[in-house]
């Protein structure tokens, strides 16, 4: 992995600062899995010969053979920004925002122990595009306010764009004997790589605290915190990303699931001495 960054920081007054950085990362020779190397390919079409044709397999006596490789690659670009206001005048705050993109390509197809030396259709491997870990936006805001007489209010708001997800047709129309080629539809179209985007994440947490001094070094803090204040239970994914089951439209396709935690309140008492 090759990594580099360049940025600047600027002080604003006596208590505030702003920073921004461009970050780039390039990955090569990354680990990946080829799900079936026991296939031969047709240079005229760029597609594999059916795995059911035993005579055309590199190893006719074997079935599906998977192999670990280190030929995957990736690229990450990001603008990372941040604002900080240290505690003064009874309050402090911070904000961070990242705008980024992550691209990658898995290993191109293998025939036996050698990569296929000619062009193959993109859904068989080696296609460069946005990664399933790509998340375009991410922002966090937080702050603390000392109201007075031992009373304190703090909060945090988190926002993140949805992660990308892979989708498939649900059948091995390429007849590879494995699951890596299931982006081909019966009409000949190919499902774009990692084309789905999960719902965004949006959450607000707040906390209030009251300190009661008992004299000397003794004090009691009463604390109340609410997580997910607005009870935003957005889905983080989908029940199923397979378009069909046995050629029939999947009724659960893109049904939201994996909802975030509901609004939760916590009460606590701290005794300091």
Q: What is the pLDDT of residues 190-228, one digit of tens each?
A: 999 999 999 899 999 999 999 999 988 899 999 999 999
- Under a CB-based contact definition with an 8 Å cutoff, are residues 184 and 193 in contact? no
* Residue pLDDT, tens place only, 9-34: 999 999 999 999 999 999 999 999 99
Which tokens in the block code for residue 245? 């089951």
Instruction: Count the Cβ atoms, other than its own, within 10 Å of residue 164.
Output: 20
Instruction: Give me the pLDDT at residue 209, please.
Output: 97
- In percent, the amount of the chain with pLDDT more than 70 equals 100
- Under a CB-based contact definition with an 8 Å cutoff, are residues 255 and 218 in contact? no
* Residue pLDDT, tens place only, 99-154: 999 999 999 999 999 999 999 999 999 999 999 999 999 999 999 999 999 999 99
Tell me the backbone φ, ψ of residue 114, rounded to 5 degrees: -125, 140
Predicted TM-score of the model (pTM): 0.88
Stated length of the chain: 273
Instruction: Give me the pLDDT at residue 236, please.
Output: 78
Instruction: Tell me: pLDDT of 78 over 90.
Output: yes
* pLDDT-based confidence at residue 240 (cuts at 50, 70, 90): confident
- CA 69 to CA 220: how far, in whole Å? 59
Tell me the backbone φ, ψ of residue 122, rounded to 5 degrees: -65, -30
* pLDDT-based confidence at residue 79 (cuts at 50, 70, 90): very high
Instruction: Give me the pLDDT at residue 114, please.
Output: 96
Instruction: Give me the pLDDT at residue 216, please.
Output: 87
Q: Is 181 exposed, middle or buried (0-12, 13-18, 19+ CB in 10 A)?
A: buried
**By C-alpha distance, which of 101, 106, 127 is closest to 31?**
106
Instruction: Count the Cβ atoms, other than its own, within 10 Å of residue 247.
Output: 9
- CA 58 to CA 93: how far, in whole Å? 63
């Amino acid at each position: 992995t090759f990594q580099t960054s360049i940025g600047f920081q600027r002080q604003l007054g006596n208590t505030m600062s702003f920073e921004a950085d461009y970050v780039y990362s390039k990955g090569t020779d990354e680990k990946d899995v080829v799900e079936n190397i026991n296939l031969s390919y047709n240079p005229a079409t760029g597609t594999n010969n059916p795995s059911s044709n035993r005579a055309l397999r590199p190893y006719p006596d074997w079935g599906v053979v998977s192999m670990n490789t280190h030929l995957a690659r990736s690229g990450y670009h990001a603008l990372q920004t941040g604002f900080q206001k240290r505690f003064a005048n009874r309050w402090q705050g911070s904000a961070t925002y990242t705008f980024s993109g992550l691209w990658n390509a898995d290993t191109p197809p293998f025939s036996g122990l050698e990569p296929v030396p000619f062009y193959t259709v993109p859904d068989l491997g080696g296609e460069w595009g946005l990664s399933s870990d790509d998340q375009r936006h991410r922002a966090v805001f937080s702050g603390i306010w000392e109201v007075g007489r031992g009373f304190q209010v703090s909060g945090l708001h988190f926002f993140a764009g949805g992660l990308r997800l892979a989708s498939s047709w649900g059948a091995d129309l390429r007849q590879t004997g494995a699951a890596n080629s299931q982006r081909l539809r019966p009409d000949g179209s190919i499902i774009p790589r990692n084309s789905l985007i999960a719902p965004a994440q949006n959450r607000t947490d707040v906390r209030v605290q009251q300190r009661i001094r008992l004299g000397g070094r003794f004090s009691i803090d009463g604390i109340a915190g609410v997580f997910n204040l607005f009870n935003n239970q957005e889905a983080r994914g989908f029940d199923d990303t397979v378009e069909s089951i046995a050629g029939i439209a999947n009724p659960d396709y893109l049904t939201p699931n994996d909802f975030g935690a509901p609004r939760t309140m916590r009460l606590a008492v701290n005794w300091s001495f």
